[in-house]
Amino acid sequence: MSGPLHQFEVKPLINTPMTIGGYDFYFTNSSLFMVLAVLVSVLFVRFGMRSKSLIPGRMQSMVELTHDMVANLMKENIGDEGKKYFPFIFTLFIFVLFGNLLGMVPYGFTFTSHIIVTFALAFFIFVTVTIIAFVKHGTHFFRFFLPEGIPFYIIPIFVPIEIISYFTRPISLSVRLFANMLAGHTLIKVMAIFTISMGALGILPLLFNTLMIGFEIFVAVLQAYIFTLLSCLYLNDAVHMH
């Protein structure tokens, strides 16, 4: 019987690496599920919107609800200036959502349960948002760390705190998603092992796992939502500096 952490193992699917610039790149199960997430999301939107009818069918409703949810989120948090960033945020949401949900499929691999993946996403957002802020506001961006009108004697305390607070963003964004997915999936596996090893009493962890699977699907959606919400908030700070 494999351990509860066995499911997070990254293994190459094709044993011959691609060598680019002296580095070996393997196509792993993680890569496979990322590709799958992209394919599934493209299929979901394309297939859902194939008829483009005024009165939507079931699939079209799902696509439209997803779209409206993200659009409303952006409207609430950024306002009309946020409209041009919609493709970026929507892509992000749907990629993380399908990444989380594909991990709930039996024998699936959850690529969002690896900190390097979520950190790459979060760092990309962080850099993009910082660049947007710089392009929009120039050196006024540094007002972020030093608001007008603070007394000069708290500047040496205030500025480092603000800088730390700013650099917290990519880390808390990535750790939150990664920790939630890792913890949930591990707990499910541990309970599954209990079910087998406890014999007749195994019915108890089995019942717990039944609830847990439902909860995990909820967490998968919630974490994708929170990831998107926070990206929107960061973007809002970048667009509307004060």
Partner 1 sequence: MEKNSQDNQDKFAALKEKLKKLQPQKNARNFYDDDRKMLGIAARIGLEIVIALVVGVGIGYFLDKLFSTKPIFLLLFALFGIAAGVLNIYRLVKGNEYGSGYKNDDKKD
| 32 counts as binding partner 1 under rule CB under 8 A | no
**Minimum gap (Å) between residue 152 Cβ and partner 1:** 15
Rounded to an integer, what distance in angstroms lies between the CA atom of residue 75 and that of residue 69?
10
The Cα–Cα gap between 113 and 41 comes to 19
Kindly indicate which of the ranges 13-21, 104-112, 158-166, 186-194 contains the residues binding partner 1, using the contact rule CB under 8 A.
158-166
Instruction: State in angstroms the smallest separation of the CB of 68 from partner 1.
Output: 14
CA distance 103 to 35: 13
Q: Which of 227, 239, 228 is nearest to 84 (CA)?
A: 239
State the pairing for strand pair 18-20/23-25: antiparallel
User: Chain centroid to CA 82: how far?
Assistant: 19
Segment near partner 1 (CB under 8 A), from 87-95, 102-110, 193-201, 221-229? Answer: 221-229
Long-range pairs of 42-49 with CB within 8 A, sequence gap ≥ 24: 44/94, 44/98, 45/94
Beta carbons of 60 and 53 less than 8 angstroms apart: yes
> Rule CB under 8 A: is residue 151 a binding residue for partner 1?
no
Cβ 213 to partner 1, closest distance in Å? 19
Task: Closer to partner 1 by CB, 16 or 148: give it.
Answer: 148
Does 79 bind partner 1 (CB under 8 A)? Our answer is no
The stretch among 21-29, 109-117, 185-193, 225-233 that binds partner 1 (CB under 8 A) is 225-233
Q: Which of 74, 78, 79, 106 is nearest to 91 (CA)?
A: 74
Backbone angle region of 87, left / alpha / beta, with phi > 0 → left and psi within -120 to 50 → alpha:
alpha
Determine if 126 is a binding residue for partner 1 (CB under 8 A).
no
The first and second tokens of residue 187, run together, are 């707990």
Piece of the chain touching partner 1 by CB under 8 A; list 36-44, 92-100, 138-146, 185-193: 138-146
**157 lines the binding site for partner 1 (CB under 8 A):** yes
Rounded-to-integer distance, Cα 225 and Cα 94, Å = 10
159-188 residues near partner 1, rule: CB under 8 A: 160-169, 171-172, 175-176, 179-180
234 binds partner 1 per the rule CB under 8 A: yes
The residues with which 12 forms a beta bridge, in sequence order, are: 28
Comparing CB distances to partner 1, the nearer of 113 and 223 is 223
Among 90, 95, 111, 144, binds partner 1 (CB under 8 A): 144
Contact footprint for partner 1 (CB under 8 A): 143-145, 147-150, 157, 160-169, 171-172, 175-176, 179-180, 222-223, 225-226, 229, 233-234, 237, 240, 242
